Chains A and B, each alone.
Chain A
Amino acid sequence: MANMSLPCRSTCCPELTSAGLHMVDGRISLSGGGRRFEVHVPELQLDPGQALALTGASGSGKTLILEMLGLLRAPQDGTIYGVGNADLAALWQGGPRTPKLAEMRGRLFGFVPQSGGLLPFLTVRDNIALPQRVCGQPDPDWCASLIDRLGLGDQAGQYPASLSIGQRQRTAIARALSHRPRIVIADEPTSALDPASADQVLALFLETAAEQGAGVILSSHDLDRMDRHGIARRSLAVEAGPPVTSRLEAAPC
């Protein structure tokens, strides 16, 4: 891993530390049907244990940013991106399907997809243990602790098909945390839940992530819920084009 000394381009934050996730001048460009859409992240910093919500209208590029942060989409040249001392932008130089890219994605990140993304042929317990097996670091005690913490004890031996949506999301959260990742990326993790369940699941998610020092970055439309849970917000503002550009607004100082 290359040691990174990141230049600060933010007028608001005097210095970007390299302890958590940090991105400077991150850009993605999409084109199709004669139209171009650009997403620009001038700067982004997420410290260990911190939670940050990306907000914005549908189609503003929240998921694109999550994909870029989660090593699922290549940033454009010139993007500076790292977690800790790892230069993640450089991983794309070998192409999108290198084992190193997959390995870093698995090791550094946990994902909570909107759909849960659970494997239907594994039990709740095995789904939660999967990232540990991928990383080669089995830790059954930690899995049991997560199952207990997220109230999944009665469902541990069941398959996802027999779970409620709330139980599936709690399983997805446990899975995302099971290998103790540095960052957890959640794409509208509570949008499929009723309000009461959504608050309960989100609270559990944030508490558990904070306990293990994982940074959480999520996307959401629900500004009130973000505020209720004390999650810092960064919104995406769309500027008319061409090209249409969605820019992540500066962090509040």
Chain B
Amino acid sequence: MLIVSLAIRDLFRDRFFLICNTAILVGVLVPLLLLFGVKNGVYTALLEEMLADPASLQIDTAGNTTFTEADVAPIRDWPGVAFVTPKVRSQFDYVNVRATEGRRLAAALMIPSGAGDPTLPAGVTLASDRLVVSSGLARQLNLSEGAPLQLITQAEDRPRQLVLEAQVAHVLPEQALSGRAVLAPFEVLDLIEAFYDAYSLPDHGIDGTKPLEQRVPRYGGVRVYAEHLEELAGLQARLEERLGVATLARTREVEGLLGLGRNLTLALGLTAALASVGLGAALGFAFWSDVARKKGVLASIALVGVPGRSLMLFPMVQAMITGLMGLVLSWMGYQLAGRIAQNLFGGGLPDGAALTLITPGQTMGIGVSVMALLLCVSAIAGWSVQRIDPATVLREVT
């Protein structure tokens, strides 16, 4: 297209104005990108640190209560719920664990778990004979994935111990679960509770005082995981209302972090809006004054038969090229400043976390926004160009 080619040739011949306008863009965009990147980077690092511990999403009923399956089942269908598991009474959730080939015993907390539990890594499935252990327990008993182990339970006045044979399905990373713990399907914990309650467990060679068939399932509590941090507070309130019990969750901590994120986004948004107004005004007037300065040249183009509606593209094409150059240079400036900032201030962040972070989607959004702003402000200059009288060339002698 002729007018595009003319606009480009004029722009690069008049490099001084291209450099000035690009410098204005870079001067505004680099600090904004850096602020945005730092806000994203630090906030994302804090969020990831929080999400690395699945307990941040957990809501746990406090103390021992009694629930039935009818109380718990509807909760599984609530929106925002990732995983629900009943719990046994708290005094029955400790067992002794021993590596089958080893001699050492370690007391460990039994935690009911299953598919959907955010504590379980993706792809790891539990069964009554395939359990997941915490890194602390694995270290103490020298357990690794695939190792056989035994859960040993001893109750008062019971001549025999309950010994459950199982295999290590997975060893959790340190930050996922602290202390000595075993993740097992609820049925395993239910079996141990039945043993404590003196029921007979013929499959495990245990003679009790009551037949197992007489046992009515009762839950000592319930543990719920929210899908996202944003749903934690609402879910906790709803759970307490539904079950009529107090619950424990890291709601204050989570809400504090989320509130910080919202406030930073708001402050940055206001800063960006003000900067956009200033940038738009500066470049708008720059493009306008530029076409006023080139009125004679533009009139010469119109004189040879280029219609006004094509001529108005002249400053708009130049604005788009200026914008692209400004964006590329700003991105390079941001990357450089980000690396310097990472070296200077990145030490306080969790390992591997970036101080500055802008995702590809955000990059695309910023680019489109800047180009749209430039298109709008250059359209004003374009409007003035299409009104230039080509007769100016004959009338005004330069």
Task: Bits for B376-398, please: 1 = Cβ < 8 Å to A, else 0.
Answer: 00000000001101110111111
5 further A-B pairs in the complex, CB-CB below 8 A; given A67-B395, A72-B391, A102-B305: A105-B390, A113-B394, A117-B303, A119-B300, A133-B2
Cross-chain contact of A115 among B6, B14, B390, B393 (Cβ < 8 A): B393
B13 contacts chain A at the CB level, 8 A cutoff: yes
A to B CB contacts below 8 Å, 21 in the list = A67-B391, A70-B391, A72-B303, A72-B389, A97-B307, A101-B307, A102-B307, A105-B303, A105-B390, A106-B304, A107-B305, A111-B393, A113-B303, A113-B394, A114-B397, A115-B296, A115-B398, A121-B6, A122-B9, A134-B2, A134-B304
**Cα of A63 to Cα of B302 in the assembled complex, Å:** 18
Tell me the bound Cα distance from A111 to B302 in angstroms: 11
Are A121 and B14 neighbours in the complex by a CB distance under 8 Å? yes
A103 with B305: CB separation less than 8 A = yes
Q: Which residues in chain B, 1-15, are within 8 Å of chain A measured between CB atoms? A: 2, 6, 9-10, 13-14
Q: Please, which residues of chain A bring their CB within 8 A of the CB of B296?
A: 115, 117
Contacts of B390 in A (CB 8 A): 72, 105
In the complex, what distance in Å separates the CA atom of A115 from the CA atom of B61?
A: 89
Q: Bound complex: CA of A154 vs CA of B6, how far in Å?
A: 23
Give the complex CA separation of A104 and B386 in angstroms. 17
A residues less than 8 Å from B105 (CB atoms):
none
A66 to B303, CA, bound (A): 13
Tell me the minimal C-beta distance from A242 to chain B in angstroms: 24
Contact indicator A119/B306 (Cβ below 8 Å):
no
- A134's partner among B305, B389, B398 (CB-CB below 8 A) is B305
Interface size on A, residues (CB 8 A): 33
B371 within 8 A of A: no
Instruction: Give chain B residues whose Cβ lies under 8 Å from the Cβ of A114.
Output: 394, 397
The yes or no answer to A130 lying at the interface (CB within 8 A) is yes
Query: B246 to chain A: closest CB distance in Å?
Result: 76
Cα–Cα, bound, A201→B307 (Å): 30
- A98 and B310 CA atoms in complex are apart in Å by 11
Q: List chain A residues, Cβ under 8 A from B10.
A: 119, 121
B-contacting residues of A (Cβ < 8 Å)?
A: 63, 66-67, 70, 72-73, 97-99, 101-107, 111, 113-115, 117-122, 130-131, 133-135, 175, 187
B309 — which chain A residues lie within 8 A by C-beta?
A: 97, 99
**Cβ-defined contact, A111 with B9, below 8 A:** no
Report B-chain residues with C-beta under 8 Å of the C-beta of A121.
6, 9-10, 13-14, 297
Quick check: A63 and B394 within 8 Å, CB to CB? yes
> Could you say which residues of chain A place their CB within 8 Å of the CB of B305?
102-107, 131, 134-135
Residue-wise interface mask of B (313-341) relative to A, using a CB-CB cutoff of 8 A (1 in contact, 0 not)? 00000000000000000000000000000
CB neighbours of B395 from chain A (8 A): 63, 67
Q: Does B308 contact A (CB under 8 A)?
A: yes
B394 engages A72 (CB within 8 Å): yes
Question: Do A120 and B394 touch across chains, with their CB atoms under 8 A apart?
Answer: no
Which of chain B's residues 52-78 have a Cβ closer than 8 Å to chain A? none
Instruction: Decide yes or no: A106 and B306 within 8 Å by CB, A72-B394, A97-B386, A121-B14 being known contacts.
Output: yes
Assuming the contacts A102-B302, A134-B306, asked whether A120 and B13 have C-beta atoms less than 8 A apart, the reply is yes
Neighbouring B residues of A135 by C-beta, 8 Å: 305
B301 at the interface (CB under 8 A from A): yes
Q: CA–CA, A134 to B311, complex, Å?
A: 12
Interface string of B170-200 (1 = CB under 8 A from A): 0000000000000000000000000000000
By Cβ-Cβ distance, the 10 closest A-B pairs, closest first, are A106-B305, A72-B391, A102-B307, A121-B13, A99-B307, A117-B300, A117-B393, A121-B10, A97-B308, A121-B9
| Nearest CB of chain A from residue B177's CB, rounded to whole Å | 69
Q: In the complex where A120-B297, A121-B9 touch, is A103 in contact with B397 (Cβ < 8 A)?
A: no
Contacts of A111 in B (CB 8 A): 303-304, 393-394
Contacting pair A119 B297 (CB below 8 A): yes
- In the assembled complex, the Cα of A3 lies from the Cα of B305 at a distance in Å of 23
Minimum C-beta distance from B386 to chain A (A): 7
Q: Shortest beta-carbon distance, B11 to chain A, in Å?
A: 9
From B302, which residue of chain A is reached at the shortest CB distance? A102
Nearest A residue to B297, CB-CB:
A119
Instruction: Report which of A63, A101, A131, A187 forms a contact with B304, defined as CB distance below 8 A.
Output: A131
- Complex alpha-carbon distance, A135 and B304, angstroms: 9
Hey, which chain A residues are within 8 Å of B391, CB to CB? 67, 70, 72-73
Given contacts A103-B305, A103-B307, A131-B305, A119 and B6 within 8 Å (CB-CB) = yes
Known A-B contacts A72-B391, A121-B14; A115 and B304 likewise in contact (beta carbons under 8 Å): no
Assess whether A187 is in contact with B297, with CB atoms less than 8 Å apart.
Answer: no
The residues of A that contact B308 with a CB separation of less than 8 Å are 97, 102
Chain B residues with CB under 8 A of A70: 391, 394
Residues from chain A with a CB closer than 8 A to the CB of B6 are: 119, 121-122
Select from chain B the residue with minimum beta-carbon distance to A161: B13
Q: How far is the CA of A66 from the CA of B390 in the complex (A)?
A: 13
